[in-house]
Structures are given as structure tokens and as C-alpha cells.
Amino acid sequence: MVDYFVGMVDYFVGMLDYSVGMVDYFVGMVDYFLGMVDYVVGMVDYLVGLVDYFLGMMEYFVGMVDYFVGMVGYLVGLVDFFLGMMEFFVGMVD
């Protein structure tokens, strides 16, 4: 009779252990899928950062070209200024 109750308690402990293991399995499965989602989000974040890097690099080169175009415009204006000044003095002498 004592053996029967010990076996019954052992059975219920085993059933409880099985239930805890099943919950642990599902928690692990959810954790796995969350990790997979986190991986995909990180990969997308990396690709967005890479595109942002290349866009920033292109913006830097466009700014550099804009700077050199402005510098050439400044030099053309300077030459135009000196030509106008010479034309003024020639007109004053004439």
C-alpha cells in the first residue's frame, strides 16, 4: 500500500517535471524566435547604416565638388574684377 502511494507521488512528480520541461521547451522556442527576429532586425539595421554611410560619403564628395566649383567661381569673379578695374583706368585715361 505504501508502495502504491510512493508510486502515485512519483507519478505526479514526473508529470509535474514533464509539464515544467514542456514549458521550458516552449519558452526556449519563443526565445529562439525572438533571437532570430533580433538577428534580422540587426541585419536590416546594419544595411540601413551601410546605405547611410554611402549616402554620407556621396554627400561629402558632392560638397567637395561644390566647394571647388565655388572656388573657381570666386577666381573668375576676381579676374572679372581686375579686368573691370583695368577697363575703368583705361577709360579714365582715355
The secondary structure of 17-59 as a DSSP string is HHHHHHHHHHHHHHHHHHHHHHHHHHHHHHHHHHHHHHHHHHH
- What's this model's pTM, rounded to 2 decimal places? 0.57
**CA Rg value for the chain:** 40
Per-residue pLDDT tens for 32-87?
A: 999 999 999 999 999 999 999 999 999 999 999 999 999 999 999 999 999 999 99
Spatial separation of the C-alpha atoms in residues 1 and 14, rounded to whole Å? 20
Q: Which amino acid is at 38?
A: D
